[in-house]
Amino acid sequence: MRKILFFYAVNFDSFFTYLISEKRCSTHTTEAYQSDLTQFIAFCKANFEVESFTGVTPTLVRSWMASLMESGAKPSSIQRKISAINSAFRFLLKTKQVSSNPAKGLKKPKIPKRLPQYIEQAPMLKFYTDEQAVQDFPSLRSDLIIKLLYETGIRRSELIGLMEKNIDFSAQTIRVLGKRNKTRIIPVGRPILDLVKHFMQEKSRLNLSSVEGNLLVSDKGRKISNSLVYQTVKSYLSTVTTQTKRSPHILRHSFATHMLNNGADLNVIKELLGHSNLAATQVYTHNSIEKLKGVHKLMHPRNK
């Protein structure tokens, strides 16, 4: 990562090292923060002739945010940029290079809530009623990927990290390692456990079992990649929907929405999804309400 001099005074290599080693930020986040800081520095110099980080004031940061809004930047992008400045000045405070944080308490633009996209229940169930006998290992793996994602609501990263030892056939559960290394137990049905067992047998027969013990492996016996999971899901969803977004996360949204529509308690869905708070799960109630509104508008005699 290239060096970035903050107002000719601070070498921010240590800040980026701090983000990666202590804050556990991804390389993608760290590089985005680097770009944001570079942009902020240029704005300070060009518009306010400020060449010292000690000269940055809350008014200056607000002016930068206003200029971003005027330029048409998305609220989510502006929020991240402000977070970058906030994190940078928190680091400077921690290392005693400044006495205050000019970005602290700054009111960020609100991000409009988007309802989670999902696949209707009928097309998903059609996948089960129309399925044909699986002929080869890749097809068996694709079948298992779709069913695990849809029947458990786990994330793509959690699916990839699923180990054979995480499957409890007698208790009919799987143990999932989620965000922030939190573990959760998810109940699964006997049919998918039978599919898992069949997949493991085929894997062993073809001598593709991974040394690490990963459940899902490539044709060469290695841990499956993000792209393989994405392409598998995209290929299936293209046969049942015309919506443009066809990512593995759509199956997670479908799992939660169908569970809710069929009477599952919101707190149960929260635990199954591994959400840290109920607010993150409540977004699925909006899908149900919107669907009810549509049915009401279509069917109620006073609306005709």
| Cα separation, 98 vs 95, whole angstroms | 8
Instruction: Tell me the β-bridge partners of 185.
Output: 175
| Cα separation, 259 vs 284, whole angstroms | 10
**With the C-alpha atoms ordered 94, 95, 99, 100, is the resulting torsion angle positive or negative?**
negative
Options 203, 253, 258, 275, the catalytic residue: 275
252 a catalytic residue: yes
Options 81, 141, 147, 155, the catalytic residue: 155
Options 18, 33, 118, 284, the catalytic residue: 284
Options 252, 253, 258, 270, the catalytic residue: 252
**With the C-alpha atoms ordered 55, 57, 63, 66, is the resulting torsion angle positive or negative?**
positive
Q: How far is CA 189 from the centre of its chain?
A: 25
249 a catalytic residue: yes
CB neighbour class for 58 (10 Å; exposed up to 12, middle 13-18, buried from 19):
middle
The single residue listed with the structure tokens 């985005």 is 32
Options 179, 182, 222, 286, the catalytic residue: 179
275 a catalytic residue: yes
| Cα separation, 139 vs 65, whole angstroms | 50
155 a catalytic residue: yes
Catalytic residues: 155, 179, 249, 252, 275, 284
